[in-house]
């Protein structure tokens, strides 16, 4: 078992209902007059709720060269002619009404330094600001209903205790007897201090109509300042030590039992009039830190907070004394905050301590802005980000107001001069954002269970009682003169005794009458009590029946809610099932479409296959017929060649025989002409019908032989084979370069050695590779290879075309790294190309064409190189795209394959074929 130190659980905050109504922060704008008439103005009031800000001449044009004008809307805009009274009626008076109704309020002024914040809050001689007018309205409303001093007493924990009249009297006497304790200003002092008397005007003081006369009130004020993020009490009176004066001690913030923030150890002074309250304020105002800067002669260097706390408690049932119950005491407060102005040190020329003060002021205002931004984001986006209240004492002190402890009002003070344009724009943006923050509406205090009008009835009873006593005294007989002049006077005392006895009798009669009346009244009260009890019993019965009905209604409501939840659950399930069904239907339709597409594709492939089979059968039949004709033609040509050879041999033998015979007879001249053997007749060939060969049609005889050079015979018009060959060789010498001219295209050359000089037409035609030392037959007749019966002249239509890469365009030659270099005989040579292994945008942007090399083994086992070509064009998004337009195939085949092609004549090399697919 491990013993680990647990953390202290955090105290849960007060639970707030989720359906609390909220109100936006009320933001008002006040424009101060210009210091001089010739100053440039950048703020213009358009309507009662809108202002327009235009940039000064130096900043008028934006990037587009246009004039920049911005409009901002507020709850209300107060112009330069607005009086302090008008501002108070719209802004501060509702907060004083809420203060009397036990609701908290926060009012603060915000703006650039020198924009009139302190004037708006405090005022000037003859023009009191919001603070003195709020105090005047408060005391004018609760003046007759104030409790005596020290009846309400602060408990130093942001709460309020209540004392009896006797304890309060003793407390007053104790305070008066201690001269060292600072005395609370006396309420008897009606004449205000001349220094601030002009700021308080009794004639303009207004009155609230929502004062509860059955309560007693007491007002406490406190005044603090936040300087360099430290809190100082401006009302604290420390003993003065002339030798070693002590600096003021800073205060700390604490949280009370209701989770409200307060300044611990802050002085709270009980005041009974406007003059007393403002005198306390003025005493603290003199201690506030102000300084002279380049922009303001009396610039506030701290944030000041003047708090007005109102304590109220109901009277007892008799309406005579305050109810001695601490739980019935209600405390509300109104905070009047004068924020220090934001400033730029480049304009104020602040140095040293002033620079530090400006930095802390700007930092606290920035924290306030950040808190507002996070609050707005949490409310608008539904997030739950932590608001950084603790980053500044100002925001930490007023955390409860933004979390829903009262109304929040802000007055944005604006200096319309052009020099403050940039700072004014920042203030306007902050004000515009603050208007979007919503604060929970304060809840009304619970109503006291005592009857209303208790104070009035108590006063009326006292007045009536005094009147009855007076009447009773007047109704009694007058007493005779009872002055004794002489000791022997026996008449005065008996007359006095008789008068007193008469009065006693009258009093006895009045007492009896009073008792009769009291008994009658008692019987009436008893009767009323009986009737009241009967009515209460009946009411109780009705209440029990009503409770039963309520239970039935609650059960039915619970059943209805259960059924509604069940209905919603079923609806949700139905929606899910419907969506699932729709998905399945969609999948079914897509699968059906895919099945139909595949069936169509299968039918199309089957029809293509049948067409291909028919085409292949036709091609096989045509090829078979062609080769049969070719074989027959070759056999006939071979037979004719053999016959010609045999005839030549016979002729030579006959000539040799003649020579031998002539030499044997003695060497004489032979006068007898021997008959030459006749060449085999071709009448059979002439008579046979000519069959069309499948080979290319022969080229016409462009070089007819001379008849005089051809030996004539009686049986045939054919020339001898030897003469034809000799004439052909003399007229057209064989060029080895011309034999290999048509072996390839200009752009696709063979990488084999130079072709050999000894060539064979049969080898070229059949694609055989001749062995070294083999003598090829060279007898030609009219361009015919007599051995094979074919023509060796170049064909009329060569089976090739010029490659598209021979143009002037620039190419991207894409050869992937995964493509193995098989070192085939024919390789494409593209002179104007950029070679890449991976296509990129830089290479594609510089070229117009694209080619991709791909090598693979064909279906017949031969190596095949494919050149996939396309055009490069720009896309709308600024990129590059390739559209494939052509596929060229370079194929290396065995030279023994029986196919028509343009072949290489180099001995010992393989055949290279170029096709344009």
Task: Flag whether 117 is marked binding.
Answer: yes
Q: Tell whether residue 116 is among the known ligand binding residues.
A: yes
Q: Output the pLDDT for position 291.
A: 54
Consecutive sets of 10 residues in the chain, 917 residues long: mean pLDDT of each? 45 51 90 80 89 77 61 92 91 93 92 87 87 92 90 88 86 75 47 63 74 90 91 82 73 89 92 91 83 54 91 84 84 92 59 68 88 90 89 91 87 88 88 89 71 76 78 74 76 84 86 89 89 90 92 93 92 93 94 94 94 93 94 94 93 91 61 46 46 40 36 39 50 41 37 37 37 39 39 43 57 80 68 83 84 75 80 83 85 57 34 30
pLDDT of residue 64: 56
Give the span between the Cα atoms of 713 and 723, in whole angstroms: 14
Q: Residue 351 has what pLDDT?
A: 52
Contact at 8 Å (CB) between 305 and 225? yes
User: Per residue, what are the HEC states of 577-623?
Assistant: HHHHHHHHHHHHHHHHHHHHHHHHHHHHHHHHHHHHHHHHHHHHHHH
CB 14 within 8 A of CB 258: yes
Name residue, tokens 């933004």.
402
Q: What does R_g of the chain's alpha carbons equal in angstroms?
A: 62
Is residue 783 a contact partner of residue 812, using CB atoms and an 8 Å limit?
no
pLDDT for 620 equals 94
Number of alpha carbons in the 13 Å side-chain half-sphere of residue 310: 30
pTM: 0.53
Give the domain ranges of the chain: 22-58+67-171+196-239+246-440, 494-615, 811-819+828-896+909-916
The annotation status of 120 as a binding-site residue, yes or no, is no
User: Are the CB atoms for 140 and 205 separated by under 8 Å?
Assistant: yes
Quick one: pLDDT at residue 682? 47
668 is in an annotated binding site: no
H or E element at residue 313:
strand 303-314
DSSP string, 14-52: PP--TT--EEEPEEEEEEPPPSSTTS-B-EEE-SSSEEE
Q: Is 404 annotated as a binding residue?
A: no
Q: Is 713 annotated as a binding residue?
A: no
Is 879 within any annotated ligand binding site? no
359 vs 353: CA distance, rounded Å: 10
Specify the CATH superfamily of domain 22-58+67-171+196-239+246-440.
Kinesin motor domain (3.40.850.10)
Predicted local confidence at residue 895, as pLDDT: 61
**What architecture is the 811-819+828-896+909-916 domain classified under in CATH?**
Sandwich (2.60)
Residue 341 labeled ligand binder: no
């Amino acid at each position: 078992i491990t013993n680990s130190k647990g953390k202290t659980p955090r105290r849960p905050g007060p639970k707030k209902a989720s359906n609390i109504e909220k109100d936006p922060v009320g933001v008002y704008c006040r424009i101060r007059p210009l210091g001089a008439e010739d100053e440039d103005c950048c703020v213009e009031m358009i309507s009662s709720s809108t202002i327009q800000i235009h940039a000064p001449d130096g900043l008028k044009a934006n990037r587009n060269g246009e004039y920049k004008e911005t409009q901002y809307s507020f709850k209300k805009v107060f112009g330069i002619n607005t009086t302090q009274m008008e501002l108070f009626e719209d802004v501060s008076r509702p907060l004083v009404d809420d203060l009397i109704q036990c609701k908290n309020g926060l009012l603060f002024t915000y703006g650039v330094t020198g924009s009139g914040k302190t004037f708006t809050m405090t005022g000037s001689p003859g023009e009191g600001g919001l603070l003195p007018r709020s105090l005047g309205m408060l005391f004018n409303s609760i003046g007759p209903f104030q409790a005596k001093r020290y009846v309400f007493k602060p408990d130093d924990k942001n709460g309020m205790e209540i004392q009896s009249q006797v304890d309060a009297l003793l407390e007053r006497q104790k305070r008066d007897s201690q001269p060292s304790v600072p005395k609370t200003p006396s309420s008897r002092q009606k004449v205000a201090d001349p220094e601030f008397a002009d700021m308080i005007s009794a004639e303009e003081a207004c009155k609230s109509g929502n004062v509860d006369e059955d309560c007693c009130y007491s007002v406490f004020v406190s005044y603090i300042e936040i300087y360099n993020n430290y809190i100082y009490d401006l009302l604290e009176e420390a003993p003065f030590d002339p030798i070693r004066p002590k600096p003021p001690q800073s205060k700390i913030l604490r949280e009370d039992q209701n989770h409200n923030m307060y300044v611990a150890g802050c002085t709270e002074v009980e005041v009974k009039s406007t003059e007393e309250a403002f005198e306390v304020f003025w005493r603290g105002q003199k201690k506030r830190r102000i300084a002279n800067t380049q922009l303001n002669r009396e610039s506030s260097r701290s944030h000041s907070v003047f708090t007005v706390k109102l304590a109220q408690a109901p009277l007892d049932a008799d309406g005579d004394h305050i109810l001695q119950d601490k739980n019935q005491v209600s405390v509300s407060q109104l905070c009047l905050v004068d924020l220090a102005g934001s400033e730029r040190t480049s304009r104020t020329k602040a140095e040293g301590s002033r620079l530090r003060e400006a930095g802390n002021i700007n930092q606290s205002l920035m924290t306030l802005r950040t808190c507002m931004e996070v609050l707005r984001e949490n409310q608008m986006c539904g997030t739950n980000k932590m608001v950084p209240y603790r980053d500044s004492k100002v925001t930490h002190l007023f955390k409860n107001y933004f979390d829903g402890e009262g109304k929040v009002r802000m007055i944005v003070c604006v200096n319309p001069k052009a020099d403050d344009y940039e700072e004014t724009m920042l203030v306007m943006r902050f004000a515009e954002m603050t208007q979007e923050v919503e604060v929970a509406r304060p809840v009304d205090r619970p109503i006291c269970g005592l009857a209303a009008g208790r104070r009035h009835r108590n006063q009326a009873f006292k007045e009536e009682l005094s009147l009855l006593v007076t009447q009773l005294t007047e109704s009694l007989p007058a007493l005779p003169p009872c002055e004794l002049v002489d000791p022997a006077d026996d008449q005065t005392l008996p007359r006095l005794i008789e008068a007193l006895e008469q009065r006693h009798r009258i009093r006895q009669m009045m007492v009896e009458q009073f008792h009769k009346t009291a008994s009658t009244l008692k019987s009436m009260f008893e009767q009323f009590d009986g009737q009241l009890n009967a009515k209460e019993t009946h009411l109780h019965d009705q209440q029990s029946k009503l409770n039963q009905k309520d239970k039935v209604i609650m059960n039915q409501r619970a059943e209805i809610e259960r059924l509604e939840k069940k209905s919603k659950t079923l609806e949700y399930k139905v929606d899910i099932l419907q969506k699932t069904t729709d998905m399945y239907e969609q999948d079914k339709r897509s699968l059906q479409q895919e099945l139909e597409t595949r069936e169509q594709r299968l039918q199309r492939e089957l029809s293509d296959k049948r067409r291909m089979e028919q085409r292949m059968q036709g091609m096989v039949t045509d090829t078979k017929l062609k080769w049969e004709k070719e074989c027959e033609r070759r056999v006939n040509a071979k037979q004719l060649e053999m016959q010609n050879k045999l005839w030549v041999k016979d002729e030579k033998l006959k000539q040799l025989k003649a020579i031998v015979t002539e030499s044997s007879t003695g060497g004489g001249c032979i006068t007898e002409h021997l008959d030459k053997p006749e060449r085999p007749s071709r009448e059979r060939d002439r008579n046979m019908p000519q069959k069309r060969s499948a080979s290319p049609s022969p080229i016409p005889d462009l070089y007819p032989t001379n008849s005089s050079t051809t030996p004539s015979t009686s049986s045939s018009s054919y020339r001898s084979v030897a003469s034809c060959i000799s004439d052909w060789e003399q007229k057209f010498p064989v060029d080895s370069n011309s034999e290999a001219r048509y072996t390839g295209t200009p752009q696709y050359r063979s990488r084999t050695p130079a072709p050999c000089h000894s060539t064979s037409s049969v080898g070229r035609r059949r694609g055989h590779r001749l062995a070294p030392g083999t003598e090829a037959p060279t007898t030609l007749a009219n361009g015919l290879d007599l051995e094979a019966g074919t023509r060796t002249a170049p064909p009329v239509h060569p089976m090739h075309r010029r490659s598209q890469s021979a143009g002037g365009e620039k190419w991207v030659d894409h050869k992937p790294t995964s493509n193995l270099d098989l070192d085939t005989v024919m390789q494409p040579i593209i002179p104007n190309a950029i070679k890449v292994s991976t296509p990129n945008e830089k290479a594609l942007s510089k070229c117009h064409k694209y080619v991709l090399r791909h090598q693979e083994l064909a279906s017949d086992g031969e190596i095949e190189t494919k050149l996939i070509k396309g055009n490069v064009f720009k896309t709308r998004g600024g990129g590059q795209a390739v559209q494939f337009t052509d596929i060229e195939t370079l194929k290396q085949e065995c030279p023994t394959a029986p196919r028509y092609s343009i072949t290489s004549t180099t001995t010992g090399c393989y055949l290279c074929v170029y096709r344009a697919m």
